Amino acid sequence: MPKTILVTGAGRGLGRTLAELFSARGDAVIAHARNEGALEGVPCERRLIADLEHPEGIADAVAALELEHLDALVHNAGIAHIAPVGGQSLEWWRRTLTVNVVAVAELTRVLLPALRASSGHVVFVNSGAGLAAGPGWSSYAASKHAIKALADSLRGEEQGAGVRVTSLYPSHFKTDMQRSVREQFGSDYDLDRATSVESIARAVVETLNMPSDMVVNDMRIEPPNPLPIRPRATER
Ligand SMILES: NC(=O)c1ccc[n+]([C@@H]2O[C@H](COP(=O)([O-])OP(=O)(O)OC[C@H]3O[C@@H](n4cnc5c(N)ncnc54)[C@H](OP(=O)(O)O)[C@@H]3O)[C@@H](O)[C@H]2O)c1
């Protein structure tokens, strides 16, 4: 049965692939981006325009959709700025925690009535960095650890309302973000040893397709032969 699914960060990367996959199978996609231009060519039924750096605007943008039912919310949008704790600026801490955590919490909050009305599903695209943090990952890993906590709290709170919550913890897949992270670390990158964006999107789709008497709470995903993200030379 077709579902109504909201995907954040649907203009490129994993979010765009998800919007394409869901639309192709007949779902009504609500594509989110920070501006209309980012959604050019993205198949969708409706659009949600909101800059996640300014979460105070999310409630009004969502209210304008007048959504009574929402089957799934996929929290996909995110940013990663790599720097050690000693070198990460206050501005990047604020931006990263705002986009990756505060906006995610706010969007979840305002959409909960529509999700409850559909016994809906909230999917958090987390990261391996949400389970373990290493040197250089500081603000990104902190933000992903925070949305692990957010997802785990939400699951316990909403089980009685029939809302399902899944966190995906992918290692690395081929998008702008992965290329940028490798560049920031000065790490080698081998595209043949990274997961494709289509495979990660498929994992999200399968998560939503699970039988109604079960839910996948957490899914850890890695390429079969991962190339670790490691600086070629470490400065001290
Ligand atoms: N790629 C990987 O290897 C990897 C691994 C583990 C986890 N992840 C996670 O997977 C998710 C998707 O990543 P990706 O690789 O597809 O990243 P990506 O290609 O860099 O795309 C990020 C998306 O987030 C949107 N976004 C960023 N800041 C925003 C803001 N302030 N307001 C609205 N939208 C904003 C971007 O929109 P704009 O086009 O407007 O910038 C873009 O659509 C992220 O949560 C990431 O942390 C990725």
pLDDT digits (tens, 9 = 90+) for 219-236: 999 999 999 998 876 554
Give dist(CA 139, CA 104) in Å, integer.
16
Assess if residue 229 is contained within a domain: no
- CATH number, domain of 23, equals 3.40.50.720
Joined together, the tokens standing for residue 101 give: 């955590």
Residue nearest to atom 11 of ligand 1 (CA): 76
Assess if residue 207 is contained within a domain: yes
Is 71 a residue whose pLDDT tops 90? yes
Assess if residue 228 is contained within a domain: no
In the predicted model, what is the mean pLDDT of residues 77-90? 97
Question: Residue 146's pLDDT band (boundaries 50, 70, 90)?
Answer: very high
Q: What is the pLDDT of residues 195-217, one digit of tens each?
A: 999 999 999 999 999 999 999 99
Contacting residues for 197 by C-beta, under 8 A, at least 6 apart: 13, 14, 17, 173, 174, 175
Residue nearest to atom 19 of ligand 1 (CA): 13
Beta-strand ranges (E) seen in the chain are 4-7, 28-33, 46-49, 72-75, 121-125, 164-170, 218-221
pLDDT computed for residue 230 by the predictor: 87
Distance 91 CA to ligand 1 centre (A): 18
pLDDT computed for residue 48 by the predictor: 98
Assess if residue 72 is contained within a domain: yes
Assess if residue 236 is contained within a domain: no
Is 189 a residue whose pLDDT tops 70? yes
Assess if residue 20 is contained within a domain: yes
* Domain count of the fold of the chain: 1
Percent of the residues in the chain that have a pLDDT greater than 90, as a whole number: 97
- Would you call 140 a catalytic residue per the annotation? yes
Higher pLDDT, 230 or 152: 152
- Residue matched to tokens 């289509």: 198
Assess if residue 90 is contained within a domain: yes
User: Is the CB–ligand 1 distance for residue 176 below 6 Å?
Assistant: yes
Q: Which domain holds residue 9?
A: 4-212
Q: How much is the pTM?
A: 0.97
Joined together, the tokens standing for residue 151 give: 């997802």
197-209 helix and 13-24 helix, angle to the nearest 10 degrees: 50
pLDDT computed for residue 233 by the predictor: 64
Assess if residue 201 is contained within a domain: yes
